[in-house]
A and B are shown apart, each in its own frame.
Chain A
Amino acid sequence: NAGVMQNPRHLVRRRGQEARLRCSPMKGHSHVYWYRQLPEEGLKFMVYLQKENIIDESGMPKERFSAEFPKEGPSILRIQQVVRGDSAAYFCASSMGDGYGYTFGSGTRLTVV
């Protein structure tokens, strides 16, 4: 079992470009959660998705950020027109559902130059 796979591990984007972060949950997990870790801060919840549905996006910035978890394939966190303040580590976690354990990926470190 490969665990939660996030790619790329490191991503560099120029201001104004788009960033796409991918998360493949553990086998058998249909719930995915995205978190952002800003320098000197703890992790902040962004969005919770189940297959083809966004369950809770209360932590997502209102503009430029979107997430999806299609029926087939990984979950994608998309950041359009990136700015320097988007530089952070983005973590994905997956679970089988409520009451089950959560497994985190190794994160994607986004650097905006």
Chain B
Amino acid sequence: AQSVTQLDSHVSVSEGTPVLLRCNYSSSYSPSLFWYVQHPNKGLQLLLKYTSAATLVKGINGFEAEFKKSETSFHLTKPSAHMSDAAEYFCVVRYRRVQFYFGTGTSLTVIP
């Protein structure tokens, strides 16, 4: 069975401080993992993806994520938060080529 758990529904950080959004997955197969961001009234935008290449994946806007098989985790990080990073973030596992399982989302607030 496939599932995704985002451990925090809300995260608040101060501008300029590090961001950590946590994600654990469960998959019977070697997973493909993604992080998507959703800004208000906007479509989902792909931040980065892991597809069994390098375990440390760099994405857009300074985000990166590390695939840790032993911990079944795929946490999203950024060294320094910017106000424009405030959004909803979704961790996603891909199953059977075409099905994506989304986590319930983490709302990131950036405090000036």
Contacts and interface: CB of A to CB of B under 8 A. Distances in A.
Nearest to A101: B46
Interface residues of A, number: 27
- Which one of B41, B43, B97, B101 has the highest number of Cβ atoms from chain A below 10 Å of its Cβ? B43
Contacts of A35: 100, 102
B100 A45 contact: yes
A4 interface: yes
B98 A56 contact: yes
Contacts, number: 52
Interface of A: 3-4, 6, 31, 33, 35, 40-45, 48, 55-56, 58-59, 91, 93, 98, 101-107
A6 B43 CA distance: 10
Given A33-B98, A42-B90, A56-B99, A106 B42 contact: yes
Nearest to A58: B99
Contacts of A43: 44, 90, 100, 102
Nearest to B4: A42
A35 B46 CA distance: 15
B26 interface: no
A78 B36 CA distance: 26
B50 to A, nearest CB: 14
A40 B4 CA distance: 15
B45 interface: yes
